[in-house]
């Protein structure tokens, strides 16, 4: 991945080929309740590209992202709402990272998305505000291992920076992919109403309807194979082709049939506006084999931390200390402060003062923590 705001990923696709984001659903079975769900959404509701070039009411159109290198310093993140369900800092988020809605974010979602091209982690913040000293405040935040399958990485029922407990970035329509002629993944979509249920890869709901026909978070829709896309521009045909092959994944409550993408000056807004000609009735719901509700959420053991040690336990300011851990059944680990998300079983730190380090080990069933203190005389 190149570095910079809106940088090209140069063909890199987040998550493994086993990820549901990257699954070809062109031949998947249609859900028996598909027609009822589409009618509930509103069969005549047209699609809308919630991204483009330029600004709308003083804000850039879409959800921006930036790519940083491994030299980007990690900074602290303080939480204002969902800290107990968030991944802790530090995170390598630049103080000038683009915020959704810039330069006038107003009362929007204020998402901040940062990819680390050296370590292949994705960091996403919701309702993010820079603090001026390099740190950030956010309502919630999540770390995603871009080398994992990304399907059930975070704990069941936990939110992320998105209402469905999903990562945002993998579902964005990006200009670099469209220009290359292919979007090789599902696309994020919002719908007005949802029920208290999820379908993988979603793991969290934000229900605002009790109707049995209201979609669960994570529901996947596919543009019908016989829908004629030949009359659209080449750019839009690439987007619609992805909808036939990979589909749309519901990720949040919002305006119905709004698909998410990245702001870019190269978009042709008139072409994107033509997506409004595609009604919800042109889609079908992919068969939902397992719909999880409060009574059926999978249960299991949180990770086990067998040990978390520091060698040495006392060191002069700035001296090297090796933090080591033995963890079982963890999807990912985070060390705070100073380190952040990390792979492997050890990391070297240089504390400037007596510091208590905390290890967070997380899987789809929960989180386990352990502490170790390094003394700096």
Locate tokens 């829709």: which residue? 221
Once rounded to an integer, what is the mean pLDDT over residues 257-268?
97
Sign of the CA dihedral running 34, 39, 40, 41 = positive
What pLDDT does 80 receive? 95
What pLDDT does 307 receive? 98
Average pLDDT of the chain is 96
Once rounded to an integer, what is the mean pLDDT over residues 115-141?
96
Q: Is the pLDDT of residue 46 over 90?
A: yes
Please give the backbone phi and psi of residue 300, each rounded to the nearest 5 degrees, phi first. Answer: -175, -175
Q: Which residues contact 177 (CB under 8 A, 6 or more apart)?
A: 183, 184, 238
Residue 245, preceding peptide bond in cis (omega within 30° of 0): no
H or E element: which one contains 37? helix 34-41
Once rounded to an integer, what is the mean pLDDT over residues 120-132?
96
Helix (H, G, I), strand (E, B) or coil at 206: coil
Cα gap 60→53, rounded to integer Å: 7
pLDDT band at 150 (very low <50, low <70, confident <90, very high): confident
Once rounded to an integer, what is the mean pLDDT over residues 145-154?
90
Q: Is the pLDDT of residue 319 over 90?
A: yes
- DSSP 8-class letter at 161: S
Among residues 45, 17, 6, 50, the alpha carbon closest in space to that of 246 is found at 17
| CA distances, 207 to each of 85, 153, 195, 287 (Å) | 18, 22, 4, 21
What pLDDT does 107 receive? 85
The domain segmentation of the chain, as residue ranges, is 4-285, 304-374
What pLDDT does 232 receive? 98
DSSP of 92-143: ---TT---TTTT--TTS---EEEEETTTTEEEEEES-EE-SSS-EEESEEEE
User: pLDDT tens digits, residue range 219-239?
Assistant: 999 999 999 999 999 999 999
What pLDDT does 275 receive? 98
Once rounded to an integer, what is the mean pLDDT over residues 366-377?
98
Q: Which residues contact 133 (CB under 8 A, 6 or more apart)?
A: none
Q: Is the pLDDT of residue 153 over 90?
A: no
Question: Dihedral through CA 188, CA 192, CA 197, CA 198, nearest 10?
Answer: 0
Burial of residue 25, with CB atoms counted within 10 A of its CB: 0-12 exposed, 13-18 middle, 19 or more buried? middle
What pLDDT does 152 receive? 78
Diameter of the chain by CA atoms?
Answer: 73
With pLDDT > 90 as the criterion, what percentage of the chain qualifies? 97
Locate tokens 């909808």: which residue? 243
Once rounded to an integer, what is the mean pLDDT over residues 123-143?
96
Helix (H, G, I), strand (E, B) or coil at 32: coil
pLDDT band at 347 (very low <50, low <70, confident <90, very high): very high
Q: Is the pLDDT of residue 120 over 90?
A: yes
Structure tokens at 70: 């491994």
What pLDDT does 63 receive? 98
Q: Given 3.20.20.70, 2.60.40.10, 3.40.50.300, 3.40.50.10160, which CATH number is that of 304-374?
A: 2.60.40.10
What pLDDT does 178 receive? 96
């Amino acid at each position: 991945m190149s570095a910079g705001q809106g940088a090209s990923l140069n063909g890199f696709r987040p998550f493994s080929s086993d990820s549901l984001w990257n699954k070809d659903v062109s031949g998947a079975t249609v859900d028996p309740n598909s027609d009822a769900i589409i009618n509930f959404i509103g069969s005549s509701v047209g699609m809308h590209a919630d991204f483009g070039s330029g600004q709308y009411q003083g804000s850039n159109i879409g959800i921006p992202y930036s790519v940083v290198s491994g030299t980007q310093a990690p900074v602290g993140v303080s939480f204002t709402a969902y800290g107990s369900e968030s991944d802790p800092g530090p995170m390598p988020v630049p103080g000038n990272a683009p915020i959704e809605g810039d330069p006038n974010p107003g009362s929007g979602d204020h998402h901040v998305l940062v990819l680390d091209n050296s370590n292949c982690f994705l960091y996403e913040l919701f309702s993010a505000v820079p603090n001026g000293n390099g740190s950030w405040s956010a309502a919630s935040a999540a770390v995603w291992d871009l080398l994992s399958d990304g399907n059930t990485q975070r704990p069941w029922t936990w939110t992320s920076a998105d209402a469905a407990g999903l990562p945002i970035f993998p579902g964005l329509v990006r200009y670099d992919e469209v220009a290359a002629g292919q979007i090789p993944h599902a696309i994020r979509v919002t719908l007005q109403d949802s029920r208290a249920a999820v379908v993988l890869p979603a793991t969290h709901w934000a229900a605002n309807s009790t109707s049995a026909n209201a979609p669960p978070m994570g529901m996947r829709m596919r543009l019908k194979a016989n829908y004629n896309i030949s009359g659209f521009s080449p750019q839009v045909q690439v987007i619609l082709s992805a909808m036939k092959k990979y589909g749309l994944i519901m990720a949040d409550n919002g305006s119905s049939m709004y698909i998410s993408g990245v702001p870019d000056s190269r978009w042709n807004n008139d072409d994107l506006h033509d997506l409004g000609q595609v009604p919800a009735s042109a889609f079908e719901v992919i068969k939902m084999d397992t719909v999880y509700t409060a009574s059926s959420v999978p249960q299991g053991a949180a990770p086990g931390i067998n040990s978390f040690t520091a060698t040495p336990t006392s060191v002069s300011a700035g001296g090297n200390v090796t933090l080591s851990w033995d963890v079982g059944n963890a999807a990912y680990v985070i060390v705070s402060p100073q380190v952040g998300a990390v792979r492997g079983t050890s990391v070297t730190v240089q504390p400037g003062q007596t510091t208590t380090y905390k290890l967070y080990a997380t899987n789809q069933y929960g989180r386990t923590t352990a502490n170790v203190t390094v003394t700096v005389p």
